[in-house]
Amino acid sequence: MTNSAKFTSIVAVIGTIMIAAVLIIGNNSNSTVQGKTNENEKLQFNSNGEYKIVQFNDMQDDEDIDPRTVELMERVLDDKKPDLAILNGDMTNGDMQTIEEVKQAIDNIAQPMEERGVKWAVTFGNHDEDHTDKTGLDEEDLLEIYMSYEHNVNKPEGKDITGTGNANLIIKNSQNNRAAFNVWLFDSGRYAPEEIANQDFEGYQTWDWIREDQVQWYVETSEKLEQTTGQKVPSLAFMHIPLPEFEYMWYASPYQGTAKSHQRAVEKHQLSGEKNECVCTGPFNSGLFAAMLERGDVEGVFSGHDHINTYMGDYYGIKLGYAGSTGFGAYGLGGEENNRLRGARVFNLDENAEDIVVDTEMVFAEDYGIH
60 belongs to a structural domain:
yes
85 belongs to a structural domain:
yes
8 Å CB contact between 37 and 147? yes
Q: What residues make up the domain containing 184?
A: 31-368
The closest of 211, 219, 218 to 285, measured between CA atoms, is 211
pLDDT of residue 236: 98
pLDDT of residue 58: 98
pLDDT of residue 41: 55
19 belongs to a structural domain:
no
pLDDT of residue 13: 42
pLDDT of residue 160: 87
Name the domain count of the chain.
Answer: 1
> Residue 202, by phi and psi: left (phi above 0), alpha (psi -120 to 50) or beta?
beta
pLDDT of residue 11: 41
Answer positive or negative: Cα dihedral of 247, 253, 257, 260: negative
E strands of 57-178, at which residues?
A: 84-88, 119-123, 167-172
pLDDT of residue 6: 44
pLDDT of residue 208: 97
16 belongs to a structural domain:
no
231 belongs to a structural domain:
yes
CATH number, domain with residue 224? 3.60.21.10
Residue ranges, the chain, pLDDT below 50? 2-40
174 belongs to a structural domain:
yes
DSSP string of 38-79, one letter each residue: HHT--EE--TTSEEEEEEE----B-SS--HHHHHHHHHHHHH
